[in-house]
Structure 1
């Protein structure tokens, strides 16, 4: 199945879209790709610091939520990264020229929009599990109401 352009799946715009493309998705999984190059957001002489991996994971989760919304004929909505548990990176940076695959798997989703995903980043033709974490997210039904008064429903 052909995947939509990543910009249709995430509620980010411009340079804030850090993922290059979604490779595949299903009800509980998504795999996205990131190519590290000198013009990559947050790139330095040694590449992109591995600490940025948490944002790659969060955007892949957002892309999964966006893909699911499009499957239901709904609009892509904003969500929030609540935190991560045990983010571990085996490399200090993602080197220039490397290609990453960001895998997210939904392990928990509640009716009120709270979710948890097991995530990992593989370096293509390099290190599998270069980074991993459990990431918790929240996607309220009405983001404007939530931001105004903190109501979930």
Structure 2
């Protein structure tokens, strides 16, 4: 999916936007970046399969529900996992911003300090479902951010979540406080 198609196909307001404002995963790879550069998660805790778009304000990701996910059972997984998908998508955006402002070796540590609001329209997700998640920073003060997130499956909204996050900031990109 091209950057200019994301908003049209997924009905996310920030995308489409001016060409060149966001980056697609292949461009992340061209910069020598990976999800592990953007997120502190490793191994089976990385739930994002693909970054569809990212800039300093918003990100759109694709996640495929897998049996290896935490809390997954034979029939799928409860909708509460959408909070983690939202947090990781916010982490992609904020990780990109961190790398741009503090450097690649900066501290990836961030904390989910609050769930201000969460509304789920499904109780569970089936294995193999494609979930498109969009996260946008809507408020920022010092190291605190408020992020509005939407999760969609096919053409249906399945969750709206507002997260409150704290991002550790480092001096001069040293990776040390």
Deviation at 1:26, TM superposition (A): 1.6
SS of corresponding position for 2:108? coil
Deviation at 1:126, TM superposition (A): 4.2
* Counterpart check, 1:106 vs 2:106: no
Consecutive unaligned residues in structure 1, runs of 5 or more: 143-152
Aligned length: 140
* Counterpart check, 1:56 vs 2:85: yes
Deviation at 1:69, TM superposition (A): 2.1
Matches within 5 A, 1:60-75: 60-72=89-101, 73-74=103-104, 75=106
How far apart in 1 are the matches of 2:109 and 2:91?
8
Query: Does the CA-based 8 Å contact 1:6-1:20 persist in structure 2?
Result: no
Structure 1 runs (4+) deviating above 4 angstroms are: none
RMSD: 1.8
SS of corresponding position for 1:120? strand
Partner of residue 89, structure 1: 120
Query: Does the CA-based 8 Å contact 2:45-2:69 persist in structure 1?
Result: no
Deviation at 1:64, TM superposition (A): 1.2
2:62 alignment partner, one of 22, 25, 33: 33
Consecutive unaligned residues in structure 2, runs of 5 or more: 1-22, 171-176
Partner of residue 118, structure 1: 148
